[in-house]
Structures are given as structure tokens and as C-alpha cells.
Amino acid sequence: MQQNTEKNILIKLSGEAFGGDGTPFDAERIRAYAAAIRDGLAGRARIFTVCGGGNVCRGRSFGDAVRADFAGMLASVQNGLFLHTALEEMGVSCQLVIPDHFAIPYGCHEADLKEETRVVLYGGGVGEPGHSTDYVCAVKSAYHGCDIYFAKMGVDGVYDRDPRKDPEHAVFLPELTFSSIASEKLGVMDFEAADLLKDTDCRGYVFELTADNLRRMLTGDADSVHKTVIR
């Protein structure tokens, strides 16, 4: 593994990032994100990525919450497989980490990560219902000591209210704390994840997800990206 001169990063890729034009999986878009991740490896030992599953299944839209959560986990494994394939096609050494009971030939356990692996993908959440993708990001970033990139579809940071529903009155928040997310009832992430992160040294960065924004965030041009910083 090459010498690490930049802090390792964990990226949350929402499930919507993997689809487009009415289809749950957009190969061109997935390859664009994979290329941005590949370019961001320069100077870093590893990049970690947590895959959502909302392009396939918005879990809680179903009546049975437990089954819905498992369906969402399976969807995130699918997304992880597609991103894994795109990265391997580009010559990037990567592994897909999945929970034990989602046994597939292309997945592995975290204990089985190879030293030369440059990109670690997480699919299937924590393997148990009741925990969001945000929670997985919080657990893994705290464990690995990573800052988190919360890349959001259609939103370029955190606002005091949803700018898509109330664009006239929404106020942009350039900085906030993990503690304030619950106290101010901000919808940027779930409160369980924010509570876990408030006692760590991890920072969060919330920005609109495009391949170009992701590449700029990863390659030293973060100042040019409109974003909210969470400390």
C-alpha cells in the first residue's frame, strides 16, 4: 500500500446516485463515479464507500419494516457489485464488504481485507434491520478515522428547511455541528448517526453529488465546491 499523505475518506453514495432516466442502474453514471474515486486515490492509502439502495427500494415505503430493511440492504449490495465491477474495469484494487448472511462470491468480511486493497465498498448495511446507511457511515468512519463525504442528489449542502419544498425561505448553513443536527431537527442525516459522530474527530462534508463535484472534493479542489462542513 502506498504511503498515505492525505486523510482517508469515507463517501456515502445514496442509492439514487446509481440510477437515472427512469432506470435503477445507469452504467455510464456508475462509471463516472468510479473514475472520480480512482482519481481521488492519489496520495491516499484508501477510500471507503458506503452504498445506499434507494434506487431499487425505498425500504420504509413497505408495511413490514423488518422485511423492508432487508430489501434495502440487498439493494445496496447490488449497487456495491456494480461499483465494484466499474472500479475493477479501471484497474483499481477494491473489495466489497458485506454482512455474513449475504454470502455471494464477490463479497468478503472486513477481517479479510487485503493490504493492497485501495477502495473498500460497503454493501448490505450492518446486516440488521433498524439501522440506516447514515449509521453505517458513522460506524465505519469512526472506526477508520475518516472524514465523511455526504454526497446528496439535488441538494448542495444543508439548509434550515428543505430547499426543494420551500426555496424562497430556505437558508443555507455553511457550518454546523453534529450535536446541532438533532437539537435543530435538521434532516441531513439520522440522529443516531449524528449522535455517534459528535464525540469523534471526524468531519462531515455535505455537497451535491455529481461526478465532477466528487472528483474536485477528492483531488484537492474542495474550495470550489459549494458545501456544508459539519464538525
Per-residue model confidence (pLDDT) at position 2: 43
In the predicted model, is pLDDT for residue 111 greater than 90? no
Query: What is the mean predicted confidence (pLDDT) over 212-224?
Result: 94
In this structure, CATH architecture of domain 9-230: 3-Layer(aba) Sandwich (3.40)
For residues 66 and 73, give the distance between their C-alpha atoms in angstroms, rounded to a whole number. Answer: 11
In the predicted model, is pLDDT for residue 83 greater than 80? yes
Average pLDDT, the chain: 89
As given in the structure block, the three cell numbers for residue 50 are 458506503
pTM over 0.85? The answer is: yes
pLDDT in tens, 119-139: 999 999 888 888 889 999 999
Of 57-66, 151-160, 218-227, give the range with the top mean pLDDT: 218-227
